[in-house]
A and B are shown apart, each in its own frame.
Chain A
Amino acid sequence: MEDKKLVTVYIEDKPYRVRPDQSMLDACLSLGFDLPYFCWHPAMHSVGACRQCAVKQFKDENDRKGMIVMACMTPAGEGTRISIKDPEAVEFRAKVIEWLMLNHPHDCPVCDEGGECHLQDMTVMTGHAYRRTRFRKRTHRNQYLGPFVNHEMNRCIQCYRCVRFYNDYAGGRDFGVFAAHDNVYFGRQEDGVLESEFSGNLVEVCPTGVFTDRTLKMHYTRKWDLQTAPSVCVHCGLGCNTIPGERYGTLRRIRNRYNGQVNGYFICDRGRYGYEFANSATRIRRPYRITYGKAGEKIENALEEGKVLPHVKSLLQGAKGIIGIGSPRASLEANYLLKKFCGPGNFYAGFSDAEFNLVGRIISVLTGGPVKAPALREVAEADAVFVLGEDVSGTAPMLGLAIRQAVRQKPVEAVIKSGIPAWNDYAVRQAVQNDKGPFFIATSAATRIDSLAEGTFHGAPDDIARLGFAVAAAISPEAPAPDGSLPEAAAGLVPRIAARLREAKRPVIISGTGAGSRAVIEAAFNVAKSLFDSGKDAGLCYVAAECNSIGLGLMGGKSLREAVGAVRENRADTVIVLENDIFDRLSAPEAEALLSARQVISIDHLPNHTVSMAHTVLPAAVFAEGTGTFVSNEGRAQRFYRVYVPAGQVEESWRWLSEFLAASAGAKFFTVDDVQRAMAGELPAFGGVPAAAPPADFRISGLKIPRQPHRYSGRTSIHADVDVNEPKPPADPDSPLSFSMEGFDGRPPSALISRFWAPGWNSVQAVNKFQSEVGGRLRGGDPGQRLIGPAGKEKSLPYFTGIPAPFTRLEGKFLVVPLYHVFGSEKLSALSPPVSELVPSPYLALNPEDAGELGCTEGMEIRLIVEDVFFRLAARLDASIARGVAGFPLGLPGLHGITLPSWGRIGIPPGVREAAEESGEDRA
């Protein structure tokens, strides 16, 4: 911001230096003034609709009369002079809110927004208290909007934020504003599930209780009663920051935690509503070991407290070789301790072999290449985007939202040049119309963001990679070009993509592990390197599948298949599986071979196939019950904190492993800080991890930072039904946070923000008070520590030359490629009841022409055989799928255990075609 000229504005006759490219409302809020507003939103800017931010503007210091203007529509120009406290402006604002409240129902006590309601805050701020009108209130009927969002239309104050977010910002198309004059209605054209995967943000965007969290409603708790701590989303690799809230021992909801560099103001519905797996009744709550009865039946023997370690110790002492299987969904600390316990030679990364290689390649490219990995915000600010092989809307939805903003960058820049300020949202959108910046996407099948793209290509992964190599070669002559021809659709795109990327200043290339192809990852690198070499500020963003995929990749270890070998060759007879289901990573015979070891110890939080085959099971804490570190896809180490102490004998995985270490005469680790210190000392890649957040002995004025708000209620009665003597609050040696409402009651360092609250600002809009400027960084810098960065230009990796041959169809076979869904492809979130409602039923996507040749029709049952694994699926005809390719929705219930892409055979079970024909005749 230093490069921009500052101007002087006068507020209440006092001069302030502010940036000129903002509105006076932005400036006032950034300076810490309390000025009420509704329609303005820091991510969506000003439209001047609600008239709530009225202030008095004066011509100069001699002007005593002034005029009332809307702060959000007034540019912060040199010498702008306003007064917020002017009596006329104060009265104007009070009148406006009185009008807005005319029809507001008298239902705050039963409204889920109550206690964190922007409308409540603003009403109190302006001083309106009693309804004076004698007329009757307007009412509306509500709609069913799906399992995520509850609709209560009576509460609406017509600020239009919801449509501006849902349609304009997130690109939804099934939501709108209906009716006329004071009857306007915000909803869908008819009852139904909201289609956008960002619909949950309506809950935070809506200044009042029209849209509320439907999952929270099922176990409702006020904001002031939630125990919260900073956390990180575990449902994809982007590492969005979240605030989970707990009450009475169960997780109640997830809220967005602003991080200027990562997720900003929004998170996707998978992250927001995927949390309920933590409350599942099937959670493993106590350790047990399996013995076999006389008839060979399995008996679960619970291990009492104090008996776990002796049991484990006896196991480990009798072991002839112990191997550990890490996990991309376990924290860095847990993986590190497992590696330390088993020894580096016996630590196996818990990826499938294919993913192991892909993640390894991504890390070597990001650390060995010249191009930086952009943060999400940098992607949103890119002026050209090229996606290679990754269905970001399915694997990393927030990246899709960032691309949606990036597509607007170039047209908006042109509009700004014409003199319209960027904050004047309505004018900018009118000027931009449907103009889109350069965005190209090449995937196996159509994705939810294809409609934004200037050019799309759908093909087999090898053809996608060849397209990428060809684009790189067209940009830089040094990059190798593919031999032979590209498919017609791709060949036409190459010069356009190359030209548009060359025009851009900040192009971003996006790829990832989703396509399952190493060539695609390398092609993306070649494109990014060619852009970097031609002087662009290019970014190279790889999507990793899970919350700690990159962290586990940096941890190293061997591949899982080698672990199978070690067990088969009797080099190891004890296997420790850390928060992982081996059956998702290996084929069933291999997984069974691995788990046929003499002793299998599984540390996990929910039952799965691996747990059912283990001999000893230890209950692990889920993300909200433990403290640790995840590394996001950009290499950002982010700390997440224990929100509550779980019931039962549940422990954080790293703590179990630390006990193992102590039992085998190693040093015991008592706190997360101890583990991190050892990890940073031993593995240089993790040197930055301790700096990701303040250490556990961090205090402000000698005080810890409370997890509970100062209004937390019921502390002397929550446990009174069990024991009338209040229990001692749990100690927390791992963090500077306390399980109490006592402690430092101000603004903590950004990595320790447990909730956004400021006096007079109970709603999430209080985030303004935590930012150095509205919409910018959090004060003290956005949390997280980058662990990897690009190598210098000289040391950079050369261009990759391993260009695959063109994809050719094989007679009688299909190349089965993975497809992804926002809901369903990620396993943990799909265990949450509201998310599971939206998981599609298993299918196989085929090109209609291929389907015609096979003689199958939409919905017909077909058989797929891949790698000797057999699936029965419903056929889905999808014209975007290339011929000879079949799309397999990996991760849906029952659809795992194979490595894709891979060749498979499709058959139609006997009788199915005849049955279909018969029913067709019946219909005729």
Chain B
Amino acid sequence: MLSILRAVWTVFLHLFKRKVTVLYPEERPRIPPRWRGRIILSRDPDGQERCVACHLCAVACPVGCIALQAAEDEYGRRYPEFFRINFSRCIFCGFCEEACPTYAIQLTNDFEMSEYHRHNLVYEKQDLLISGTGKYPGYNFYKVAGLSIKGKDKGENENELPPVDVKGLMP
């Protein structure tokens, strides 16, 4: 009897406490910028795809929900021929973002991905690729990697000497 009264009293007191629930979706919660939500593929500052199809995100993925195939343009720049994330398997651990050497794959603070059919959660490259640099502006992998691509010859990187003249004899 006493315990019931105590419970009623406790509930009554809560009437005067601050509300924790929000009226989602009319009212939006604040999502911190480092939230691990929907995954995107970003672009270099010069607008090219950042992903170089190194397969590190795929191998880091604990649930194996990333599959891709590397391809190369005529100048030797690597890009993914296809890039697929099965979000119905993704656990949003962020390992792919940690593994990415080019800041291409990033987790965003969008979490509203519900679907009625699981196959709608399979995202291909066109669904993943955004038009900006995402969280990491400025970084351009090909500016520091010693591979020549269109518009950047050998020795034109930051921190590189011009190509060696093999026939030179100077000490």
For A141, A178, A248, which residue has the most chain B Cβ atoms within 10 angstroms? A141
**Segment at the interface with B among A216-224, A397-405, A568-576:** A216-224
How many angstroms between the C-alpha atoms of A221 and B53 in the bound complex?
Answer: 10
What is the distance, in angstroms, from B44's C-beta to the closest C-beta of chain A?
A: 14
A771 interface contact, C-beta 8 A? no
**Which applies to chain A's interface (DSSP): helix, strand, loop or mixed?**
loop
A713 interface contact, C-beta 8 A? yes
Per-residue interface assignment for chain B, residues 43 to 54, with 1 indicating a CB less than 8 Å from any chain A CB and 0 otherwise = 000000000111
User: A105-B147, A717-B67, A724-B86 in contact; A137/B159 too (CB < 8 A)?
Assistant: yes
Chain B residues contacting A110 (CB-CB under 8 Å) are: 52, 54, 78, 145, 147
Chain A residues contacting B137 (CB-CB under 8 Å) are: none
B72 interface contact, C-beta 8 A? yes
Chain B residues contacting A721 (CB-CB under 8 Å) are: 84, 122, 124
B67 A713 Cβ-Cβ under 8 A: yes
Chain A residues contacting B122 (CB-CB under 8 Å) are: 717, 720-721, 724
How many angstroms between the C-alpha atoms of A154 and B64 in the bound complex?
Answer: 33
How many angstroms between the C-alpha atoms of A278 and B39 in the bound complex?
Answer: 36
Chain A residues contacting B89 (CB-CB under 8 Å) are: 716-717
A107 interface contact, C-beta 8 A? yes
Chain B residues contacting A219 (CB-CB under 8 Å) are: 69
Per-residue interface assignment for chain A, residues 93 to 116, with 1 indicating a CB less than 8 Å from any chain B CB and 0 otherwise = 000000000000111111000110
**Segment at the interface with A among B6-14, B16-24, B29-37, B163-171:** B163-171
Closest residue on chain A to residue B148 by CB atoms: A142
Please classify how large the interface on chain A is, using the bins under 10, 10 to 19, 20 to 34, 35 or more.
35 or more
A716 B63 Cβ-Cβ under 8 A: yes
User: A109-B56, A110-B54 in contact; A720/B163 too (CB < 8 A)?
Assistant: no
Per-residue interface assignment for chain A, residues 73 to 109, with 1 indicating a CB less than 8 Å from any chain B CB and 0 otherwise = 0000000000000000000000000000000011111
Taking CB atoms and an 8 Å cut-off, the chain A residues in 690-738 that contact chain B are: 711-718, 720-721, 723-725
How many angstroms between the C-alpha atoms of A652 and B40 in the bound complex?
Answer: 43
B52 A136 Cβ-Cβ under 8 A: no
User: A154-B154, A720-B122, A724-B122 in contact; A713/B167 too (CB < 8 A)?
Assistant: no
A26 interface contact, C-beta 8 A? no
Chain B residues contacting A136 (CB-CB under 8 Å) are: 159-161
B162 interface contact, C-beta 8 A? yes
What is the distance, in angstroms, from A473's C-beta to the closest C-beta of chain B?
A: 56
A178 B166 Cβ-Cβ under 8 A: yes
How many angstroms between the C-alpha atoms of A714 and B67 in the bound complex?
Answer: 5
How many angstroms between the C-alpha atoms of A152 and B88 in the bound complex?
Answer: 40
User: A137-B161, A713-B59, A714-B64 in contact; A105/B145 too (CB < 8 A)?
Assistant: yes
B154 A716 Cβ-Cβ under 8 A: no
Chain B residues contacting A714 (CB-CB under 8 Å) are: 58, 61, 64-68
A140 B161 Cβ-Cβ under 8 A: no
Taking CB atoms and an 8 Å cut-off, the chain A residues in 172-189 that contact chain B are: 178-181, 183, 185
Chain B residues contacting A718 (CB-CB under 8 Å) are: 67
What is the distance, in angstroms, from A648's C-beta to the closest C-beta of chain B?
A: 21
Chain A residues contacting B164 (CB-CB under 8 Å) are: 138-140, 179, 183, 185
A141 B65 Cβ-Cβ under 8 A: no
* Listed A/B pairs (26) with beta-carbon separation below 8 Å: A105-B147, A106-B146, A107-B145, A108-B54, A109-B54, A137-B146, A137-B159, A139-B155, A139-B157, A139-B160, A139-B162, A140-B154, A152-B147, A154-B146, A179-B164, A185-B166, A219-B69, A220-B53, A220-B72, A224-B55, A224-B59, A225-B55, A711-B59, A714-B64, A721-B122, A724-B119
